[in-house]
């Protein structure tokens, strides 16, 4: 007997107050539950209209369910399912960009939030500036109906400006350094190329609070969908699964102060997010990427599998020891406690977060996750061989062939170029030299300083394989 399809409850549906760009699993496991809880606690019309910038998949899955879905907390000792009803609808931007702009220009919408991943900002990761040669930006400069997230924000703000309305707050929830400042620079740069008066109005009136977001949320698989049906007795075509932990630190700087009461449900509203952001990007995302590249090369499928391997468990501790001197602890946080909590989170066996998933888009992730930390270590004269091995691991990964000679499906906006650059040299030293020349990833001032230590790491990695190299750097005499 098949289980009945999940449907929305009879609870009154909130009016839309937020348009969310990039309705992936993370948004539905993090932003939507937080906002739903804030409305339950303190009221307010903060229903979320989701916008998919690419595919119709989520819209098609959620429409028959009245936009409701299941969020499952996966703890080491059991799981817990809840229905999330914060969504008021889902639009698919390529099908109807006009409808997306109309929704964003509606005065009832006071926040446009984003989880579009690093590459969705169409910027140069090494500089943080808009890349005007990005094909989507080139398109959006010429056409009033945009395709990129920055394009939608600018064209929607133009509509509001023309109509004499207040702007919305742009709430970025992506893992980028000083993400509020970064998105403001990108949006105002794009606006200035279209209409300088619009750019001035945005600078004067719009708000771009920085945020630190944190909840490990692997992509949902068909096995997960079957598990959720067994758990809840309902068929849900698009559930999300996530760890118990969550942390949202938000700079309290919204247009007219308008926002859901997120502080009532555990978000931290602060004056300055920078220290939280740096800590999370460097200590969590930096080691996540490290375990992703070196774990994948060492034959591990998930992060939990990787840290169950004692060589990697010891290596990640070594990485934290290299990273912590380059991190300023936020108020009331002890970095050693933060690292210990991360180790426990990574080990959660219920979370099957694939190394391959985290390895995606490394060209967009490396600068803020690893290269800032490496620069700080070099400036202070501290050797950082563990971090250099991670850079070498990324270089080996983007070469596209694993240690057993099998192809790797490298997902990265620069994948084809990275592969060609890697193939242009035959030796590890040659590959390191060639890849350090990719200026979107390696700032020109940093590249020459990385050459010797990353070459040394690469020679070890190519000669001995990832697992033995990790064991060696972790101080374990044998990889057995």
Shortest spacing between CB 359 and ligand CS2, in angstroms: 8
What is the chain's alpha carbon radius of gyration, rounded to the nearest angstrom? 22
Burial of 339 (0-12, 13-18, 19+ CB in 10 A): buried
Query: For strand 211-214 and strand 247-251, is the pairing parallel, antiparallel, or unpaired?
Result: antiparallel
Shortest spacing between CB 126 and ligand CS2, in angstroms: 18
Cα 86 to Cα 68: distance, rounded to the nearest angstrom: 8
The reply on whether position 470 binds ligand CS2 by CB under 6 A is no
Q: 267 CB contacts (<8 Å, ≥6 apart)?
A: 34, 248, 249, 250
Shortest spacing between CB 117 and ligand CS2, in angstroms: 8
Which residue's C-beta sits nearest to ligand CS2?
A: 288
Question: Contacting ligand CS2 (CB under 6 A), which of 216, 291, 457, 466?
Answer: 216
Q: Which is nearer to ligand CS2, 199 or 387 (CB)?
A: 387
Shortest spacing between CB 187 and ligand CS2, in angstroms: 22
Q: Where are the alpha helices (DSSP H) in 195-221?
A: 196-205
- The partner residues of 189 in beta bridges, in order of sequence, read none
Q: Among the candidate windows 35-43, 78-86, 198-206, 212-220, which touches ligand CS2 by CB under 6 A?
A: 212-220
Question: Contacting ligand CS2 (CB under 6 A), which of 189, 214, 236, 305?
Answer: 214
* Residue found by looking up tokens 């998930």 in the block: 302
Question: Contacting ligand CS2 (CB under 6 A), which of 155, 215, 278, 352?
Answer: 215
Q: Which is nearer to ligand CS2, 79 or 357 (CB)?
A: 357
Shortest spacing between CB 330 and ligand CS2, in angstroms: 16
Q: Among the candidate windows 123-131, 198-206, 210-218, 225-233, which touches ligand CS2 by CB under 6 A?
A: 210-218
The reply on whether position 285 binds ligand CS2 by CB under 6 A is yes
Cα 417 to Cα 425: distance, rounded to the nearest angstrom: 13
Q: 86 CB contacts (<8 Å, ≥6 apart)?
A: 14, 32, 33, 35, 36, 39, 46, 47, 48
Shortest spacing between CB 25 and ligand CS2, in angstroms: 10
Query: For strand 211-214 and strand 16-21, is the pairing parallel, antiparallel, or unpaired?
Result: unpaired
Q: Which structure tokens are listed for 313?
A: 């468990």
Q: Which is nearer to ligand CS2, 104 or 267 (CB)?
A: 267
Instruction: Count how many Cα atoms sit within 13 Å of the Cα of residue 45 in the half-sphere of its side chain.
Output: 11
Q: Which structure tokens are listed for 346?
A: 């990574």
CA 354, distance to chain mean position in Å, is 15
Cα 109 to Cα 328: distance, rounded to the nearest angstrom: 36
Q: 116 CB contacts (<8 Å, ≥6 apart)?
A: 21, 22, 53, 149, 174
Q: Which is nearer to ligand CS2, 154 or 294 (CB)?
A: 294
Q: Which is nearer to ligand CS2, 184 or 365 (CB)?
A: 365
Question: Contacting ligand CS2 (CB under 6 A), which of 184, 288, 300, 431?
Answer: 288
CB 325 within 8 A of CB 382: yes
The reply on whether position 175 binds ligand CS2 by CB under 6 A is yes
Write the binding mask 340 to 369 for ligand CS2: x where contact by CB under 6 A, - elsewhere: -----------------xx-----------
Cα 369 to Cα 348: distance, rounded to the nearest angstrom: 22
Q: Among the candidate windows 68-76, 209-217, 316-324, 432-440, which touches ligand CS2 by CB under 6 A?
A: 209-217
CB 390 within 8 A of CB 366: no
Q: Which is nearer to ligand CS2, 175 or 179 (CB)?
A: 175
Shortest spacing between CB 476 and ligand CS2, in angstroms: 25
Shortest spacing between CB 302 and ligand CS2, in angstroms: 12
Shortest spacing between CB 366 and ligand CS2, in angstroms: 11
Shortest spacing between CB 357 and ligand CS2, in angstroms: 6
Which residues are near ligand CS2 by CB under 6 A?
A: 175, 214-216, 285, 288, 357-358
């Amino acid at each position: 007997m098949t289980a009945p399809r999940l449907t929305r409850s009879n609870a009154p549906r909130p009016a839309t107050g937020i348009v969310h760009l990039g309705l992936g699993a993370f948004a539905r496991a993090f932003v939507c539950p937080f906002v739903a809880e804030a409305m339950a606690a303190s009221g307010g019309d903060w229903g979320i209209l989701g916008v998919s910038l690419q595919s119709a998949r989520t819209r098609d899955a959620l429409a028959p369910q009245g936009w409701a879905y299941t969020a499952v907390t996966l703890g080491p000792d059991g799981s817990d399912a809840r229905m999330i009803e914060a969504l008021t609808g889902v639009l698919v931007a390529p099908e109807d960009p006009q409808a997306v702009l109309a929704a964003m220009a509606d005065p009832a919408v006071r926040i446009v939030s984003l989880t579009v991943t690093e590459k969705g900002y169409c910027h140069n990761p090494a500089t943080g500036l808009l890349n005007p040669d990005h094909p989507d930006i080139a398109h959006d400069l010429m056409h009033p109906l945009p395709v990129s997230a920055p394009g939608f924000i600018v064209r929607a703000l133009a509509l509001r400006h023309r109509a004499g309305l207040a702007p919305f707050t742009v709430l970025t929830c992506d893992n980028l350094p000083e993400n509020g400042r970064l998105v403001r620079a990108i949006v105002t740069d794009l606006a200035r190329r279209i209409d300088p008066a619009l750019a001035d109005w945005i600078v004067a009136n719009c708000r771009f609070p920085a945020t630190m977001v944190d909840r490990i949320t692997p992509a949902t698989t068909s096995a997960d969908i079957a598990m959720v049906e067994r758990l809840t007795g309902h068929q849900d075509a698009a559930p999300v699964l996530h760890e118990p932990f969550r942390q949202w630190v938000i700079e309290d700087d919204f247009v007219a102060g308008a926002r859901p009461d997120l502080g009532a449900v555990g978000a931290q509203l602060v004056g300055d997010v920078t220290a939280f952001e740096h800590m999370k990007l460097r200590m969590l995302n930096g080691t996540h990427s490290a375990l992703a590249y070196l774990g994948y090369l060492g034959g591990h499928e998930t992060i939990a599998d990787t840290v169950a391997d004692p060589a990697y468990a010891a290596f990640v501790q070594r990485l934290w020891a290299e990273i912590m001197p380059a991190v300023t602890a936020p108020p009331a946080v002890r970095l050693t406690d933060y690292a210990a909590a991360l180790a426990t989170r990574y080990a959660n066996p219920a979370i099957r977060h694939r190394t391959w998933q985290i390895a995606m888009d490394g060209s967009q992730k490396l600068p803020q996750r690893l290269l800032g930390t490496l620069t700080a270590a070099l400036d202070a004269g501290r050797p950082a061989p563990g971090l250099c091995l991670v850079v070498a691991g990324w270089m080996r990964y983007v070469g596209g062939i694993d240690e057993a000679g099998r192809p790797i499906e490298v997902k990265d906006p620069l994948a084809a170029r990275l592969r060609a650059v890697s193939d242009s040299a035959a030796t590890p030293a040659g590959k390191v030299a060639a890849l350090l020349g990719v200026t979107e990833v390696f700032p020109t001032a940093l590249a020459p300083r990385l050459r010797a230590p990353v070459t040394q790491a690469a020679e070890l990695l190519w000669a001995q394989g990832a697992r033995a190299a990790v064991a060696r750097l972790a101080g374990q005499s044998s990889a057995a």
